[in-house]
């Protein structure tokens, strides 16, 4: 009985690992890229590499409404079914954005787990400081808590004034979409 039960779990684990490995991650990426065009966002000049359990995208140029908006060094997508994550590293925004926020973003991480199916978790860091928050999927509410850097507090006071100040010195941004 124990042997049959252990074989059953071994087959289940093998099936899950095979499903994760053979998930068409490149096709998912190109489907996402096509969906972004509906919002006039174009990703170009990237190199896409499926390494089995993760998808790596390098050197992405981002255009919004035809305007060169950002350069991204790397994007890593991991699709595990129970837990999925997207990590975007070394983002450099267009110099036009330098009037509003620091243009260097070190990392943005987005994750989704079926153990908390109503929320997509977001975190990031960069010249602006530290940020963390979530998107409530059903209510379509983005809620971000930002702890601004010294640079952000000194040079970008106008941008900070548009955020809601919390008691602990951090700021909040809430948006319904």
How far is C-alpha 20 from the chain's CA centre?
20
Q: What pTM was estimated for this model as a whole?
A: 0.85
Q: What is the pLDDT along the chain (177 residues), one digit of tens a residue?
A: 788 999 999 999 898 888 888 888 899 889 989 999 999 999 999 999 999 889 999 999 999 999 999 999 999 999 887 899 999 999 999 998 888 999 999 999 999 999 999 999 999 999 999 999 999 999 999 999 999 999 999 999 999 999 999 999 899 999 998
Residues linked to residue 49 through DSSP beta bridges, in sequence order: 56
How far is C-alpha 57 from the chain's CA centre?
13
Tell me if 160 sits within 8 A of 142, measured CB to CB.
Answer: no
**Concatenated DSSP letters of 103-115:** SEEEEEEEEEETT
pLDDT of residue 175: 94
Put residue 52 in one of left, alpha, beta given phi > 0 → left and psi -120 to 50 → alpha: left
Distance CA 25, CA 33 (A): 12
∠ CA 57-74-47, rounded to 5°: 30
Distance CA 39, CA 78 (A): 24
pLDDT of residue 23: 83
Tell me if 102 sits within 8 A of 126, measured CB to CB.
Answer: yes
pLDDT of residue 24: 87
pLDDT of residue 103: 93
Distance CA 8, CA 15 (A): 11
pLDDT of residue 142: 96
Distance CA 32, CA 163 (A): 30
DSSP state of 56: E
Q: Give the domain ranges of the chain.
A: 82-177
């Amino acid at each position: 009985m124990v042997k049959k039960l252990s074989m059953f779990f071994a087959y289940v684990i093998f099936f899950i690992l095979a499903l994760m490995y053979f998930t068409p991650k490149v096709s998912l990426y190109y489907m996402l890229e096509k969906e972004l065009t509906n919002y006039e966002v174009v990703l170009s000049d990237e190199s896409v590499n499926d390494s089995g359990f993760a998808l790596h995208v390098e050197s992405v140029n981002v255009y919004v409404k035809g305007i060169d908006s950002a350069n991204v060094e790397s994007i890593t997508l991991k699709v595990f079914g129970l837990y999925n994550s997207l990590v975007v590293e070394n983002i450099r925004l267009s110099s036009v954005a330098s009037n509003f926020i620091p243009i260097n973003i070190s990392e943005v991480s987005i994750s989704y787990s079926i153990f908390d199916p109503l929320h997509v978790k977001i975190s990031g860091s960069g010249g602006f400081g530290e940020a963390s928050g979530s998107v409530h999927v059903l209510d379509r509410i983005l809620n971000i808590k930002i702890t601004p850097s010294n640079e952000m507090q000194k040079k970008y006071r106008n941008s900070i004034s548009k955020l809601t100040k919390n008691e602990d010195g951090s700021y909040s941004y809430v948006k319904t979409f």
